[in-house]
Structure 1
Amino acid sequence: MNRLIIIIIGLILFSATAYAQKPDTVRLRDEIERRQRVRDSVAGKRVITDVITKKNKKLYRPDSTHSPSLAFKRSAFVPGWGQLYNRKWWKLPLVYGGLGGLAGIYIWNRGNYKDFLRVYQLKRAGANQPDESDPQSVKDLFARAAGISQTTIENNVNYHERNMQLCILGFVGFWGIQMIDAYIDAKFIHSYTMDRDLSFKITPGIETGPLYASGNLPSITPVLKLSLTF
């Protein structure tokens, strides 16, 4: 009987000792995570965006009152009006430079077309000289074209007529392009923002290779580093 009691007491003590030596996995895991966070905070870099203050404002903010359709209609009525509405003043010289250049080329080709056409009509009619009512440009061209065949004069008529048509198409196309440009700019102002939270930077750098046994200096390679901020 005494032996049985001694055995039972021994088993109880052994179980208590074994339970006391069992590691606390929850506490151990928390301690490991705490130490890892400390190491990360010391060696790593914080991946957060800057706090927006008075000195660090967003460059652009969406403007819900800005109407893309209104910018499109204004550019349709008057070239460059949509760009003014979008506050893109620097695009006005491009718009009027392109349209003005096409208009100037059209006027020049139209003048030559009319002169060559009149000279062709006179040559075909067998006239020896232009009429008194003809402009001076026709008289000068008729004198220069004395030894030129009617086919050559007809080719010049067709050449300038084709250039006139191309200028008209280019003028209409450029007008449409500036309308689309005004709409796209207004769409970005209305719906999107560009700020410091999204940026990229390219900087030069140098990467050193491992030091090999055969050489005394490590290999050096110039590189470009791209930094993205979201």
Structure 2
Amino acid sequence: MKKSLLLIILCFSWGWLYGQEEQNANKDSVIFTEDNLILPEGGVQEIVTETPRNRPNKVALYSAILPGLGQFYNKKGWKIPIIYGGATFLVFGAVNSNTQYQFFRDALFLEVDGNPDTINDTGLNESQIRRRVDFYRRNRDYFIILTGALYLLNILDAHVDAHLREFDINENLAFSVKPAMVQNPWNISNVGLSLQLKVKP
């Protein structure tokens, strides 16, 4: 008795689930036919893209040997002044901070050596000099770290740019992203994005 009752419930459940699946498929599925496909007059044409392969590892090595050389090889020469301008600023900041650090460090040695004949020329007391020593040492270290980060970023930029050159798109292809209204199965409109790939004749 229990087995037959369970069998009847399963049969009804199966039919109900199959009906729901078929109904959802009719609502959500898009069926492409010859009537709703828009093709160009000449039919579908093959678009061949010829992309130069720059060997990203070789380009990264170029930028490691001489910063900016990888960008030049990638034909992105406009990045070279940015790299060298940033490097000049950071190296100048590191050198200037190191000079100030050494000056105040020497003044601190004169202040704490216990010899009354040696007087520092800064006119500052010991705590003020210590603060400046710490400040310029920290600045020098920051500038050195940022210079190293710029060097690594130069290599990474050349490597990634060489990879991206392999994905150049033919001029006959156009890709666009536009806002769109999407209607869900419950007839509620939602705002979304539409990605469109157009083939120019």
Shorter-normalised TM-score: what interval? 0.5 to 0.7
2:174 is the counterpart of 1:174? no
In structure 2, distance between residues paired with 1:106 and 1:113: 10
CA offset digits 1:166-189 (Å, max 9, x no partner): 211111111011101101111222
- Preserved contact between residue 86 and residue 185 of structure 1 (Cα < 8 Å): yes
Q: How far did 1:202 drift? A: 3.9
In structure 2, distance between residues paired with 1:96 and 1:168: 15
TM-score normalized with structure 2 length: 0.63
Q: CA RMSD in A?
A: 3.2
CA distance 1:63–1:157, change in 2 (3 Å)? same
In structure 2, distance between residues paired with 1:86 and 1:169: 27
2:169 is the counterpart of 1:194? yes
- Preserved contact between residue 79 and residue 178 of structure 1 (Cα < 8 Å): yes
Q: How far did 1:201 drift? A: 5.0
TM-score normalized with structure 1 length: 0.56
How many residue pairs get matched?
Answer: 154
Q: Report the AA paired with residue 86 of structure 2.
A: G
CA distance 1:184–1:122, change in 2 (3 Å)? same
* 2:71 aligned residue: 83
CA distance 1:75–1:127, change in 2 (3 Å)? farther
* 1:63 aligned residue: 52
- Preserved contact between residue 59 and residue 158 of structure 2 (Cα < 8 Å): yes
CA offset digits 1:37-88 (Å, max 9, x no partner): 5xx3xxx672459868xxxx98x74213x22111101100111110001000
In structure 2, distance between residues paired with 1:117 and 1:67: 49
From 169, 184, 188, the counterpart of 2:160 = 184
* 2:38 aligned residue: 46
In structure 2, distance between residues paired with 1:229 and 1:165: 50
- Preserved contact between residue 61 and residue 192 of structure 1 (Cα < 8 Å): no
Q: How far did 1:95 drift? A: 1.0
Question: Runs of 5+ in structure 1 lacking a partner?
Answer: 1-35, 131-141, 206-222
CA distance 1:149–1:50, change in 2 (3 Å)? farther
In structure 1, distance between residues paired with 2:193 and 2:143: 47
From 91, 98, 116, the counterpart of 1:110 = 98
In structure 2, distance between residues paired with 1:105 and 1:152: 22
Range with greater deviation from structure 2 (178-187 or 163-172): 163-172
Structure with max Cα Rg: 1
Question: Runs of 5+ in structure 2 lacking a partner?
Answer: 1-32, 181-190
Q: Report the AA paired with residue 228 of structure 1.
A: Q
In structure 2, distance between residues paired with 1:200 and 1:121: 66
